[in-house]
Amino acid sequence: MVKVIKELYDYRQMIIGFVKRDLKGRYKASVLGFLWTFINPLLQLLVYTLVFSTIMRNGIPEYYLFLFVALIPWIFFATSISGGSGCVVSQNTMVTKIYFPREVLPVSYVTSAFVNMLLTYIVVFAVVILTGHTLDPIALLFLPLIMIVEYFLALGITLITSALTVYFRDLEYIMSIVTMAWQFLTPVMYDVSILDGSPRLQTIFYMNPMTSVIIAYRDIMFYHKVPQLNTLVVAVCMGMLFTILGFEIFGKLKRRFAEEL
Amino acid sequence: MSENKVLGADLYNKKSSEKVAIEATGIHKKYRVYLDKGYSLKEKALFWKRNRYEERWVLKGIDLKVMQGEAVGLLGVNGCGKSTFLKLLSRIMYPDQGEVKINGRVSCLIELGAGFHPDLSGRENIYTNAAIFGLTKKEIDARLQDIIDFSELEDYIDNPVRTYSSGMYMRLAFSVAINVDADILLIDEILAVGDANFQAKCFKKLSELKRQGMTIVIVSHDIGTIERFCDKGLWIKDGLCASEGIIKKVVNDYREFLEEERQAALEKEVAAKTKRVESGEDDEQKEKTPKTFLDPTATKDDIDYAANRFGLGYAVITNVVLRDAKGKINTTFTEGQTCSFDIHYQIKKPSKEYIFGMAIMSKDWYMLYGTNQREDGKPTALPGDTGVVTFTINNLNLKTGRYIFSVSIIDENETPMDFYRNYCEFDVVSDKGGIGVVQIDHDWVIQDGKKEDGDT
């Protein structure tokens, strides 16, 4: 794995190129172009505000913000693992014809989605501040950490799904259902406290690596407090575990990519 | 000065003989040949049988050791596994058994412009393409001008590459691949594109890179190129190494094999034709058969002398087999060697004598030589209804070129029985000097000028 990471560093220009191309190409034909990166989340926020403050009222105050700070990181995660599962298959001409560390493909995909999330998070910050909230500076220090943890978590899972998709093409479509189900099993749209009644369900919930990540995001951005230590520890451990697992599985499966594609 | 020279030679030898660049040992590779592959869940679940595959071993134990600064040519017929081997060296694929050890950065030209993005400009593609070889932006910046210069695409470099011709594509791809400071360059049959000038330029550059210590492995069907450029060769046949070592030897072995293959194919063809002719199924033959052959009442006056084949057909030529000096069936002969023509005949109406004749003409129908058995004063009696008359040339004194062979049978009154103007063509190759059509036996002598002066 160390060897692979070293090689990936040598190929950094290729990753940068891929990410740039993806970000540039995303809104290429549209009139507003790159501005969509910011407009899109704002419009989403508008819809959520309308729906949850007028039609579907629930007990949580400022629900739109409660949802918004967690939804943006979730969208990054979901895009990575479902969209990213096809990233090797879609580059089949390159994989069968030239050598480069195959990990470049999932890494580029996840990185590009990550950069997109970072840009969107500027909007989140703007909204949080403009609605009259003051962020806790110490809590904010933990934001980069949790973002990096989420990045590696997404990367690990994308490595696995993208490699498996080469051998089993349906996975790409199955993953979109899986991510949808996963979203409901993660406290994105609700608070984890609704499970206070059943500790057994709660244990299962915490086995979901994204639970800790989303809780941490919300602690920092919505409750303006430092995440609990055990939340952080679980998140970091899960991130590391999935990264190692991802690289190992990808490394095994990549040997026959050129033949399967 | 001589010391310097020796030192230089020493350095050169050291560079080219000490470090191992590529070491492949016991390479085995198998492909799964799916009878009917299903990729999706439905197909996988419903049609288990479809996922059955046959394993086909493409490489069955290939060893190759290449020293730094050497150029190696991989030879072999289509599908022998040489391209697979190159892909294993480039790590696009991995061997099932055996190990590939590579020392240094690899650059490969396996597929033309793989990794090019059609909508991006040539310049942008240089960046992405060089990045694929593992270069950083700074490194690419430093090489950009060299790459553009070599590709000769200065005027088009900012146009999208989808507007490029395949030759321009190749030039750009080649320019990038050789300018990434690779230690090892793998090339698979792509230099065929591009005009002759650029090809020459490529080989000049490759030779230069080779001198600088770059290791090169080439796959090509152009044996001549490989022979000229490479130091070593590896001929792969049916997944095994059939010959390896010094390029001259490998190329010779390979050429010999190709010649044998061609020979076998030719013999098969001739055998099939003979069979067809004998059983009267040869449509080609039927078509060409003159009307007078089939008409028993036809006389000398009915013969169409202007036709390619004419005569009364009392005796006919069923086949002519051309043989080279070794007695092998061949249509290409070497100047100065023996060649022979086996003329197969069939007699339909017996006569006292039938006289066989032949002629050799140049491609523009100029008669070079013609004769028959009577002219030569040879016996003409024929023993049976069918048989073979062989015409042998002991010392073929024709120069390189293509010639027409005519054959004929006439009776004692010189009435044509079967006169075939353009029976077949054959080639002559010559490794001797001189130009023209025929080799004329000659000599050159320089006389002592002084002596001659004294005489007069």
In the numeric block, the tokens 């739109």 are attached to A64
Do the chains contact at A13 and B137, CB–CB below 8 Å? Answer: yes
Co-location of B28 and B132 in the same domain: yes
Q: Does B44 touch chain A (CB under 8 A)?
A: yes
Give tens-digit pLDDT for A160-172: 999 999 988 888 8
Residues of A in contact with B111 (CB under 8 A): 97-98
pLDDT: is B388 or B448 the higher one? B388
Co-location of B47 and B184 in the same domain: yes
Residue B271 lies in a domain: no
- So what's the pLDDT on residue B8? 39
- CATH code assigned at B41: 3.40.50.300
pLDDT for residue B143 is more than 80 = yes
Give tens-digit pLDDT for B167-203: 888 888 888 888 888 889 888 876 666 677 888 888 8
Co-location of B48 and B172 in the same domain: yes
The pair phi, psi for residue A10, each rounded to 5°, is: -60, -30
pLDDT: is A9 or B449 the higher one? A9
pLDDT class of B422 with cuts at 50, 70, 90: confident
Query: Strand B184-188 and strand B232-237: pairing?
Result: unpaired
Percent of chain A at pLDDT > 70 equals 98
pLDDT: is A139 or B32 the higher one? A139
Residue B445 lies in a domain: no
Stretch A200-213: mean pLDDT, rounded? 85
pLDDT class of B12 with cuts at 50, 70, 90: very low
Residue B455 lies in a domain: no
Q: Does B117 touch chain A (CB under 8 A)?
A: yes
Q: Find the CB nearest A100 among B94, B127, B132.
A: B132
Lowest mean pLDDT among B248-252, B282-286, B365-369: B282-286
- CATH code assigned at B313: 2.70.50.60
What is the C-alpha radius of gyration for chain A, rounded to an integer number of angstroms?
Answer: 19
The DSSP annotation for B294-314 comes to H-TT--GGG--TTSSEES--S
Give tens-digit pLDDT for A75-92: 999 999 988 999 999 988
Co-location of B293 and B243 in the same domain: no
Q: Find the CB nearest A17 among B91, B111, B127.
A: B127
Do the chains contact at A97 and B117, CB–CB below 8 Å? Answer: no
Residue B438 lies in a domain: no
Report how many domains make up chain A. 1
Q: Which of B62, B81, B69 is nearest to B11 (CA)?
A: B69
pLDDT class of A241 with cuts at 50, 70, 90: very high
Share the mean pLDDT of chain A: 87
Stretch A99-115: mean pLDDT, rounded? 93
pLDDT for residue B359 is more than 90 = yes
pLDDT class of B7 with cuts at 50, 70, 90: very low
Percent of chain B at pLDDT > 90 equals 8
pLDDT: is A253 or B274 the higher one? A253
Q: Does A3 touch chain B (CB under 8 A)?
A: no
Co-location of B162 and B20 in the same domain: yes
| Residue B358 CB-density burial (10 A; 0-12 exposed, 13-18 middle, 19+ buried) | buried
- So what's the pLDDT on residue B3? 39
Return the beta strands (E) in B220-291 as ranges.
Answer: 232-237, 240-246
Question: Helices A137-167 and A171-185 sit at what angle, rounded to 10 degrees?
Answer: 150
Residue B130 lies in a domain: yes
Dist. CA A218–CA A227, nearest whole Å: 9
Q: What is the residue range of A25's domain?
A: 2-260
Stretch A89-101: mean pLDDT, rounded? 87
| Residue B390 CB-density burial (10 A; 0-12 exposed, 13-18 middle, 19+ buried) | exposed
Co-location of B287 and B238 in the same domain: no
Percent of chain A at pLDDT > 90 equals 34
Q: What is the residue range of B365's domain?
A: 282-429
Interface test with A, best of B53, B89, B133 (most A CBs within 10 A): B133
pLDDT for residue B42 is more than 70 = no
- So what's the pLDDT on residue B13? 45
Co-location of B48 and B94 in the same domain: yes
The pair phi, psi for residue B195, each rounded to 5°, is: -75, 170
Q: Does B105 touch chain A (CB under 8 A)?
A: no
In the numeric block, the tokens 């006919």 are attached to B316
Residues of B in contact with A258 (CB under 8 A): 87, 92-93
Co-location of B294 and B369 in the same domain: yes
Share the mean pLDDT of chain B: 81
In the numeric block, the tokens 């799904």 are attached to A161
| Residue B305 CB-density burial (10 A; 0-12 exposed, 13-18 middle, 19+ buried) | exposed
- Report the largest interatomic distance among the alpha carbons of chain B, rounded to a whole angstrom: 108
The pair phi, psi for residue B394, each rounded to 5°, is: -80, -35
Residue B240 lies in a domain: yes
- So what's the pLDDT on residue A56? 74
Residue B112 lies in a domain: yes
pLDDT for residue A6 is more than 70 = yes
Half-sphere exposure of B228 (CA within 13 A, CB side): 10
Co-location of B291 and B226 in the same domain: no
Stretch B429-443: mean pLDDT, rounded? 83
| Residue B219 CB-density burial (10 A; 0-12 exposed, 13-18 middle, 19+ buried) | buried
Instruction: At B46, list the tokens.
Output: 């419903």
Dist. CA B19–CA A38, nearest whole Å: 56
- So what's the pLDDT on residue B278? 66
- So what's the pLDDT on residue B113? 67
Domain's final residue, options B232, B248, B264: B248
- So what's the pLDDT on residue A104? 93
- So what's the pLDDT on residue A55? 78
The pair phi, psi for residue B418, each rounded to 5°, is: -150, 110
Co-location of B172 and B288 in the same domain: no
Report how many domains make up chain B. 2
Residue B50 lies in a domain: yes
Q: Does A258 touch chain B (CB under 8 A)?
A: yes
Stretch A45-74: mean pLDDT, rounded? 83
Stretch B2-11: mean pLDDT, rounded? 40
pLDDT for residue A158 is more than 90 = yes
- So what's the pLDDT on residue A184? 87
